Structure 1
Amino acid sequence: MKILVIGAGAMGCLFAGRLKAQQADVLLYNRYNTHVEQINQSGLVIVERDDKETTIPLKVVQAVAKEDGYDVVLVLVKAHANKAVLEPMRESFSPDALFITMQNGLGNLETIKELFPNNPSAAGTMGCGASVESDGRILHRGWGKNYIGPVEETAAQEKLLDFIALLNRSGLQTDVAEDVQTVIWNKLFVNLAYNSLTALTRLRNGDILNTDEGQDLLRNVVREAAQVAERIGVTVDAEQTIANCLRMGREDIGANKSSMLMDVLHKRKTEIDAINGAVAKLGKRHGVETPYNDLITGIIKVIEANYDLQVD
């Protein structure tokens, strides 16, 4: 099985690196930068839970072609970059290539289906977490289970199961999600709970919970999203969902720096439109008030638009 991982951020590196360590035929795709240069020259360093370091030889490419013959294409770029990155690749894969998105937020699978209508595709979520510490070096700091939804085509489903088996052998615990929409929303609740709040406060995930005010903000953001999810037909136990988000921050992902925090620290565009912004947009469409998500989305957008004017 030949695998292409699109996006050499923390999660793309974690998945590609773990797969490569199992001798999988895997390449990363990313625009050229110093992080990519370091990986190509010296390999990818993954720092695990016990601070043990593994260096994995890995290749990052800047071009793909149909004759490369990829069986699985795992999309892990930021949600807002989907069209810009994927559209130039529309003729670069055979119709047999299985596309899998495990990105944050809503709408990713729909974009892939629009760009690659003749390819099988599946959506999933990641329970694991990672962050880029420096060029060519990532910290593995979340260890939850990953889920990927089924595909309709029999051949593609067999390919998906083979890919999931490979992820499990690599140590990235993954299972098939029969109800992928519920799984996507459950991951969205965690992203809502931590991404924007850590970006605003510049704290690690778990430190959001150090104060009653931080916990209350988390509860309100997630409770609004649960109301929106219920309105569109996704069954949610709001209080249990909030309890799970709090538990994850205390036990599983507390030490992690969220991707949105890293985007703000590096003055990059964030995924706010696919996370809190998506909840606010759906709320307006379906008559559900979302004042907390509206406000947080607005503040993040103000920050994004004014990086150059920030006071040191």
Structure 2
Amino acid sequence: MSTRIAVLGCGAIGSLYAAHLARVPGVEVWAVDPWREHVEAIEAGGLTVTGQAAFTAPVHARTSAGELPPCRFGIVATKSSHTGDAVAAARDVLADAAVVSVQNGVGNEELIAEFLPRVIRGTIVTAGAVTAPGTVRYDAPGDSWLGPFEPRPASTAEIELLAGLLNEGGLKTHAVADARGPQWTKVVFNAATSPLAALTGLTVGQVCTDPGLRTQVGILIAEARAVCVAAGIELTRDPAEAVEEAIREAFGHRPSMLQDVLARRPTEIDVLNGGIAAEGRRVGVATPGHDAMVALVHGLETSWR
């Protein structure tokens, strides 16, 4: 019997997860996304990966979660603002599933846990972009980390099984006892660079090599690290190292927040800088830099209206 996996949200990350898992023997992947042309192309000809890898994998794709069969695992890869609606729509097919968030920011697991009983905290640093219906470009490889969401955790066996399937599919994945460190390591880097890219129109590499903007990156990192120390969260790497790596390996990358701004879509500022600021308030650490990023990006969004 095949292992069925539902992927909610077929943007870049959801598409990369779906395609890599679908080439594992014995795995059946069902993807859900409202973009009809993308869904129809995937259903008709498979999901094609270009860039860092080159293959086409068979993926079932639908525009409605109600058309999915019951699944053993769920992967939530929607924008954070769509988490509640996406999980609610898939609640019946994921009733007996272990469900992981691989989304940006913090707070998504709490939303998933409102609907489903076994939740996995997930982090992925892979980058990509959907370039055409049925095609996703794999821009930058990176590890994934899966661990229990403490209030409503999936079992260790489930976490290890999903990590093993992802490894077999070609996405290096670690099953860990505490996934907060990897999650916050990504959040700190993204919150220090993405809003600056979104506000200036510059790539990550350009932001990190501009002297004035690099100073702001450092301020945002320092505030976030202070929050992590107060919250007892141990980062898995020095965010300054991640900045240098981004300059070397992803200089021209446009982060998703910049892509949202260019398309005049709502951003995920509230779960990135807003999430850090909220945790700062909880643990008594001031975050004026992150508060400023939230206000500026929301101001930009308001200007479109």
> What is the identity percentage for the equivalent residue pairs of Structure 1 and Structure 2?
28
The corresponding residue for 1:283 is 280
The corresponding residue for 1:105 is 105
Q: Aligned in 2, Cα 1:242/1:121: closer, same or farther, shift over 3 Å? A: closer
From 131, 134, 155, the equivalent of 1:133 is 131
**Scaled by the length of structure 1, what TM-score is found?**
0.87
Equivalent position amino acid for 1:87 in 2: A
Equivalent position amino acid for 1:77 in 2: T
The corresponding residue for 1:76 is 77
RMSD of equivalent CA atoms: 2.4
Unaligned runs of 5+ in 1: none
**For residues 305 and 36 of structure 1, what CA distance do their matches in structure 2 show?**
31
**For residues 198 and 256 of structure 1, what CA distance do their matches in structure 2 show?**
10
**For residues 57 and 164 of structure 1, what CA distance do their matches in structure 2 show?**
20
3-state SS of paired residue (2:10): coil
From 13, 23, 41, the equivalent of 2:15 is 13
Question: What does the per-residue CA deviation read over 1:134-178, in whole Å, with 9 as the maximum and x for residues that have no partner?
Answer: 333222122121100047899843232222111111110000122
Deviating runs (4+, > 6 A) in structure 1? 151-155
Matches within 5 A, 1:1-312: 1-23=3-25, 24-49=27-52, 53-65=54-66, 68-94=69-95, 96-116=96-116, 119-150=117-148, 156-235=155-234, 241-308=238-305
CA contact (8 A) 1:149 1:176 kept: yes
Question: What does the per-residue CA deviation read over 1:76-111, in whole Å, with 9 as the maximum and x for residues that have no partner?
Answer: 1111211122223333333x3111112111111111
Question: What does the per-residue CA deviation read over 1:17-47, in whole Å, with 9 as the maximum and x for residues that have no partner?
Answer: 1111334210111114333333334433321
CA contact (8 A) 1:151 1:157 kept: no
Equivalent position amino acid for 1:46 in 2: V
Q: Aligned in 2, Cα 1:132/1:211: closer, same or farther, shift over 3 Å? A: same
**For residues 198 and 132 of structure 2, what CA distance do their matches in structure 1 show?**
19
Shift of 1:8: 0.5
Shift of 1:236: 5.1
3-state SS of paired residue (2:114): helix
CA contact (8 A) 1:127 1:145 kept: yes
**For residues 13 and 215 of structure 1, what CA distance do their matches in structure 2 show?**
32
Shift of 1:188: 0.7
Unaligned runs of 5+ in 2: none
Shift of 1:201: 1.8
